[in-house]
Amino acid sequence: MRKNFPGPYDYADIPLEQGEIARTWRDMHPKIVLDRVAARSPDAYRPDFATGPLEFYFYSAAFRGEGGETSLEVYYGIPTRQLTYGTTRDGRQVAYLERGLAVYDSTGRPVGRKSRKMALATESLVDTSAAAFIPEVDRIDLPPGNYRVAVQVLDRLSGKSEVYNQNQTLPAFGKKELQVSDIELAASIGPTGRRQFLKGDIAVVPMPMRAYWPGEPVLIYYEIYNLNRDPFGATNYRLSYEV
């Protein structure tokens, strides 16, 4: 690697001389080696430490944070039929999971990380139908900009895991212009709920698969910022939806 203090960094120059030694150095050049590996390998990550894949749903949405930052919310939907269950001493079924996210800026530098252990316990048989999933959410506040988000879920009993990556642009939510947050598709919206789902005084449980059964209500949540009187003093606004 060639260092251009204080940056950016770049590969060293490829030798242009002729002869066997020069050809050997060219074959060993990091950029050439990397290009060869990239040509042979698919652009998908499969963790080699896992015993198998653990498929889950996820997507993200951006809202106004504190101090000029943007709040990135990452929604998980973990299908119960994907999990391995143990039995507790009192006869309950339980699954043990770990989930986490890592955020990298446009240069690849890690700028945020969160991880959490989870336990799903039930008194009766676990609902493992196609529509059954565990909803979760993680939040992290970041300056507006371009990021790469990596999320992972690990089943601690089976060792199955999966990592997904997403490129995300976080907009700036100011204090003056009329702006709207991203739209969160919800499974339920109500006055009470688990603390991690609370937005102010309402609980918004996400619908990470963004799919609804026929006849099921489609619930959405979004925030409107800087909703003030227009130049004529009016405060009556109309919202239009397109599905």
**What radius of gyration, in Å, describes the C-alpha atoms of the chain?**
24
- Provide the β-strand partners of residue 61: 73
Average pLDDT over residues 145-151: 95
| Residue 104 in this model has a pLDDT that exceeds 90 | yes
Structure tokens at 141: 């506040």
Cα–Cα distance between 153 and 99 in angstroms, integer? Answer: 4
| Residue 4 in this model has a pLDDT that exceeds 60 | no
The torsion of the CA quartet 143, 110, 6, 15, rounded to 10 degrees, works out to -130
pLDDT in tens, 185-232: 999 999 887 888 999 889 999 999 888 888 889 999 999 998 888 788
Instruction: Choose the weakest-confidence range: 9-13, 77-81, 141-145, 155-159.
Output: 9-13
pLDDT in tens, 14-36: 656 666 766 666 666 666 666 66
| Residue 6 in this model has a pLDDT that exceeds 80 | no
Residue 48 confidence (pLDDT): 54
Residue 56 confidence (pLDDT): 92
| Residue 3 in this model has a pLDDT that exceeds 50 | no
* Residue 114 CB contacts under 8 Å (≥ 6 apart), including other chains: 100, 101, 138, 140
Average pLDDT over residues 49-77: 90
